[in-house]
């Protein structure tokens, strides 16, 4: 039976793998970008680097990392660090296409480049945020709920007021999952569905 345990530095490559294999609205995004690691460098690994104490993984019976939740308890502080220290060291690694019509890679690079404190309006009321991804072999076993509840328990113990997240509107399975664990819809843009939960 797979188990949940705290993140370790040795899990870093696995975060990249799980992230890309679930990045296309829950499906495999391998090969969509010129470098698959772009997904992880935006949506997973920086959280584990900055706040490993808010990251947990699912480990399979044979020792593989097959899922994770990564988070920050202070979105604006995280976004400042992401902009100033993380993304500034990667911006030359990933190239814009130069095409007249932006590619998906162009859109993700643009999104990452615009991240900054104060951009996410829900951060004031819901200061924490998370990313959770599980390979298909983990699903249907209650592991996603266990990951979320582990994180929520830790955030409550820290006195964090609430948490938000954004997701691809096409990922209807994820939306149903977030509602099952007690999250509610927040005001959202057309290209993103936002959810939140209060802890106080």
Options 2.60.120.650, 3.40.630.30, 3.30.450.20, 3.40.50.150; CATH for 3-141 is: 3.40.630.30
Q: What are the structure tokens assigned to 125, written together?
A: 């009321």
Residue 140 pLDDT > 90: no
Residue 190's pLDDT band (cuts 50, 70, 90): confident
Identify the CA nearest to 42 among candidates 109, 98, 118: 109
Contact (Cβ atoms closer than 8 angstroms) between residue 94 and residue 35: yes
The structure's pTM equals: 0.95
Identify the CA nearest to 131 among candidates 121, 143, 144, 112: 144
Which pLDDT belongs to residue 139?
A: 81
Q: State the Cα–Cα distance between residues 94 and 113, nearest whole angstrom.
A: 11
Residue 35: partners with Cβ closer than 8 Å, 6 or more residues away: 93, 94
Domain limits, the chain? 3-141
């Amino acid at each position: 039976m797979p188990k949940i345990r705290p993140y370790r530095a040795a899990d870093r490559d696995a975060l990249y793998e799980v992230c890309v294999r679930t990045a296309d609205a829950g499906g495999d995004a391998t090969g969509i970008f010129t470098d698959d690691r772009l997904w992880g460098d935006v949506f997973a690994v920086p959280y584990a680097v900055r706040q490993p104490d808010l990251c947990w993984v699912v480990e399979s019976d044979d020792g593989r990392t097959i899922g994770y939740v990564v988070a920050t308890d202070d979105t604006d502080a995280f976004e400042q660090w992401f902009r100033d220290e993380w993304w500034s060291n990667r911006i030359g690694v990933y190239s814009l296409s130069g095409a007249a019509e932006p590619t998906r890679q162009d859109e993700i690079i643009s999104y990452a480049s615009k991240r900054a404190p104060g951009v996410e309006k829900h951060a004031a009321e819901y200061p924490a945020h998370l990313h959770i991804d599980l390979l298909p072999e983990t699903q249907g076993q209650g592991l996603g709920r266990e990951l979320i509840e582990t994180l929520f328990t830790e955030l409550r113990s820290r006195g964090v007021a609430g948490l938000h997240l954004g997701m691809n509107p096409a990922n209807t399975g994820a939306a149903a999952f977030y509602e099952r664990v007690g999250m509610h819809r927040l005001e959202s843009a057309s290209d993103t569905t936002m959810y939140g939960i209060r802890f106080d």
